[in-house]
Amino acid sequence: MIGLFWENLRISLSSIFSNKSRSILTALGIIIGVLSVTLMGTLISGLDRTFEKSMAGFRSDVLMISRMEWFSGDVDWWEMRNRPRIREEYGEKLLERSQFVEAVAPVSERGGSIIRGDRRIDSRFFGTTTDYLATNTSVEVEKGRFFSDGEQRSGARVLVIGGDVADALFPDEDPLDKYVKIGNYKFRVIGILKKMGKFMGLFSMDNQATMPLGTYKRLYARRGWMTMRVKLNTDQADLAREEVRGIIRQLRRLKPTEKDDFGINQSSTLEAQYKAIKLAIGGTGLFITALSLIVGGIGIMNIMFVSVKERTREIGVRKALGATQTMILGQFLMEAVMICLIAGLMGMGLAYGLSFIIDKFFPSAMPIGLAIGSIILSVIIGVVSGLVPSYQAARLDPIDALRYE
């Protein structure tokens, strides 16, 4: 049995490599199919890792209250833009009235340039309170410190900067206790945040600076916009969300018949959108893969029929010398499987090389299970595509085969 296997393998490889161009063109559909499914899996793996890392600051127990919903549906953008602002005193009221709220951090934000000498960087800077760290676990002070309650109340001009700002303005020195300017105002750097990377590979979360909210209000008055980060003390996020929603409606004096003029956002909203995007990517990839494999399988079946016709006399000679139907079946089935196996390995090799390019944008690696599954899928396609032509070859009458011209 082992000898027969090796004999069929030798004959199959000999036939494949004696017709290299035909074999490569035949296998092209399988190569594209395996390349598609492997790259799709690698891309989704990279997206999953990037999404999980990016969502570290958007935990399920943190609500984001603002004038706008992240995904507004059929609500007009101008309608949300003209809604009343979120006010700082909402945080105090939430702490007083809600049984589920553990900490609240109002956050005001605007863009601008941060300057030191002849160096500058366009950045986002935030005004917030000391509770910001309690509501955002992804933010960690790597060097120095965060500002204090006293600095918050007095409106001290102190600044905690992100890693990108530190690298741009202080490439060769320690930023701590050095001064930078935002507009016409000087700030002393008291801390540097640990680098967090890019959010979904789109924009850097390290290009930011944080100052006390008292300072922000004193210097920038009503410019910018405010959101409220609310840390919950319960796993019952839906119940807590409804309680917070009711309190905010009371504070904004909304009637029971009036719609919410604010948005309460949380990680589940982003997760739902991400799953929809991932499903679309996966569905498109599977469609392309199925189409390529079907075309590839048909091509291999067609070329195997041609091979059987070309080698009809060879089949007759082998049968005349004692080859059984099982031997002939195994020979041609082995050839179809080997074409698909080689194509699968080529497709996986190309995908492995391209995965390094994907890794530049999304931290990812080709899943081992997916690679093994691709090879198994290639072999299955070979068996399915080669079964009918191989059966036809095995059923040939040896006398008719020897007479075939």
Mean pLDDT of the chain: 79
Q: Which domain holds residue 287?
A: 2-53+272-403
Maximum CA extent, the chain: 104
- pLDDT higher than 60, residue 57: no
Tokens of 327: 């031997």
Of residues 208, 138, 139, the one with CA closest to residue 167: 208
Decide which of 222 and 284 is more confident. 284
Domain end point (choices 265, 292, 323): 265
Two tokens at 9?
Answer: 């393998």
Residues 379 and 334 reside in one and the same domain:
yes
Cα(51)–Cα(254) distance, integer angstroms: 36
The C-alpha angle 308, 397, 385, rounded to 5 degrees, equals 30
Determine the length of the chain. Answer: 405
The residue type of 352 is Y
Q: What does pTM read for this prediction?
A: 0.63
* Phi/psi at 225 (5° precision): -145, 155
Q: How far is residue 286's CA from residue 283's CA, in Å, rounded to a whole number?
A: 5
Q: Check whether residue 237 and residue 93 sit in a common domain.
A: yes
pLDDT for 66: 84
Do 84 and 214 fall within a single domain?
yes
Question: 245, 265, 285 — which closes off a domain?
Answer: 265
Q: What distance in Å separates the CA atoms of residue 157 and residue 179, rounded to the nearest whole number? A: 10
Residues 34 and 123 in one domain: no
The reply to whether 7 and 78 lie within a common domain is: no
Q: Give the contacts of 253 (CB within 8 A, at least 6 positions apart).
A: none
Please indicate, yes or no, whether residues 361 and 242 belong to a single structural domain of this protein: no
Amino acid at 374: S
C-alpha pair distances (Å), 258 with each of 77, 249, 262? 18, 10, 12
Check whether residue 36 and residue 86 sit in a common domain.
Answer: no
Which one-letter amino acid corresponds to residue 119? R
Could you tell me if 374 and 34 are in contact, meaning their C-beta atoms sit under 8 angstroms apart? yes
Residues 11 and 102 in one domain: no
**Is residue 249 domain-shared with residue 137, that is, in the same domain?**
yes
Q: How many domains does the chain have?
A: 2
Same domain, 193 and 240: yes
Residues 239 and 163 grouped into a single domain:
yes
Query: Which tokens in the block code for residue 38?
Result: 């492997």
| Residue pLDDT, tens place only, 363-383 | 666 777 777 887 888 888 888
What does the pLDDT look like over 320-363, one tens digit per residue? Answer: 777 777 777 777 788 788 888 888 888 888 888 887 877 776 66
- Helical ranges in 88-175 per DSSP H: 89-97, 132-135, 149-154, 163-169
Q: 277 and 185: one domain? A: no
Joined tokens for residue 72: 């507004």
pLDDT confidence of residue 335: 79
Residue where one domain finishes, among candidates 237, 265, 293? 265
